[in-house]
Amino acid sequence: MTYNLDPELQQPIRDMMREFCPKEIEPLGLKHDREPDSFAHDIFQKLAAKGLVGFVMPKDYGGGGRKKLEYATMIEELSYFDPPSSLLSAVSQLAVDPIMNFGTPEQKQKWLPKSATGELIPAFALTEPNAGSDAANQALTIKDDGDHYVINGEKIFIMHGDVCHFAVTFGRLASDTSERPRVSAIIVPADAEGFKGFTLQHKMGMKYATTGRIEYKDVKVPKENFLGEPGKGFKMAMITLDGARIGIAAQSVGIAQRALDESIKYAKERIAFGAPIGKLQAIQWMIADMATKVEAARLLTYKAAQLQDKGESINLAASQAKLFASEASKFCVDRAMQIHSGYGYIGEFSVVEKLYRDQRVTEIYEGTSEIQRLVIAGNMLRK
């Protein structure tokens, strides 16, 4: 187990991101953040052109074929410079993951290469108005109608659901009339008649990696788009989310590290009572706590990524990494705000205000902190 940077694997990625992001990504992010919520096509295309959208997608299907540890490093760095950009990349990976893992060769050939290059924007559509944490409570119906399926229902809080070209959509088979129907999955093209995506406005942070609501009204989908085995969709979704949680943990580490670095810089510059505030023990303690949490969060994240690379079970490790890193990032943005005080609260003066808003959702999406605790406790009690 590598407990910190693996020079051969991770350092080139860090170097590349530190060269690329401050020039090409961060300024665009700051501009988009001040505009009404709309998808940052310009950033997405820059990321895709640099190979950061198809980073871990298989080489055979046009992706970079990178390992999870490399992916975690890339997402951490991207998030350090611009958290929403890390989401723009991570969502494509989340959405194609079920196709990578459970799709037929034909489905992979059809949907992966163009997703890897950013020509297609995919979405992962699991959550419904009445199926959030209780994701198995799907109301959307997938009805077998001869030579095609017909989809009816609604999805909410779907990343890129407003701009996607296709949505990996979870639902229940209309023929399953049991009280708790089993979940299935199907790839729904966004240009099919009856599919409509809407941008959800006034999001607190991560504004230009947009979140949508999708309506499906009698959407006809070819039979070949059915994904995996009927009734196995919940398992597919949970396996996908296990892997994706490592990405959110890495995103959180990037945010936390940025909050720490901004705080150290400011503590050395800001003079109060005739000396830099970094001389004050009250400020030193905040920085010490931040630095310790960042490091612990990073270690948990790398551990989970390495377990996935080794093909071991990540259910526990991914939840621990996501839970700890997202809460550590909240701690760090909060302390960064306190250290910057007035100059942190007003976005004109520092990035701390934006970091504070972008951070909050890391504790909500891909399973809330409460759900992560359920997963961790379940693992402990099963032992």
Ligand X SMILES: Cc1cc2nc3c(=O)[nH]c(=O)nc-3n(C[C@H](O)[C@H](O)[C@H](O)COP(=O)(O)OP(=O)(O)OC[C@H]3O[C@@H](n4cnc5c(N)ncnc54)[C@H](O)[C@@H]3O)c2cc1C
Binding site for ligand X (CB under 6 A): 124-127, 132-133, 157-159, 211, 361, 364-368, 370-371, 374
- Catalytic annotation on 8? no
Q: Which is nearer to ligand X, 56 or 294 (CB)?
A: 56
The residue among 126 and 259 lying less far from ligand X, judged by its C-beta, is 126
Catalytic, out of 70, 106, 366, 370? 366
Cα-Cα-Cα-Cα dihedral sign, residues 70, 243, 358, 95 = positive
Amino acid 37 reads: D
- Rounded-to-integer distance, Cα 340 and Cα 266, Å: 7
Give min distance, CB of 91 to ligand X, in A.
Answer: 6
Q: For residues 226 and 233, what is the distance between their CA atoms, to the nearest angstrom?
A: 10
Tokens 């009404």 identify what position?
36
SS3 125: strand
Joined tokens for residue 287: 């920085």
Through-space distance between the first and last CA atoms of the chain, rounded to whole angstroms: 23
Hey, which bits of the chain come out as E strands? Answer: 122-125, 141-144, 148-159, 166-173, 183-189, 195-199, 211-222, 226-227, 271-272, 275-276
Quick one: CA dihedral 26, 31, 37, 41, positive or negative? negative
Minimum Å gap between C-beta 374 and ligand X is 6
Q: Closest approach of Cβ 257 to ligand X, in Å?
A: 22
What does residue 203 show for φ and ψ, rounded to 5 degrees?
Answer: -70, 145
Name which of 328 and 371 has its Cβ closer to ligand X. 371
In sequence order, what are the residues at sequence separation of 6 or more whose Cβ sits closer than 8 angstroms to the Cβ of residue 223?
A: 147, 148, 149
Question: Please, which residue, 113 or 367, has the CB nearer to ligand X?
Answer: 367
Tokens linked to 116: 């890897």
Least CB distance to ligand X at residue 16 (A): 27
Measured from the CB of residue 353, what is the shortest distance to ligand X in angstroms? 18
CB of 263 or CB of 326, closer to ligand X: 326
Q: Which residue lies nearest ligand X, judged by its C-beta?
A: 132
Catalytic residue positions? Answer: 366
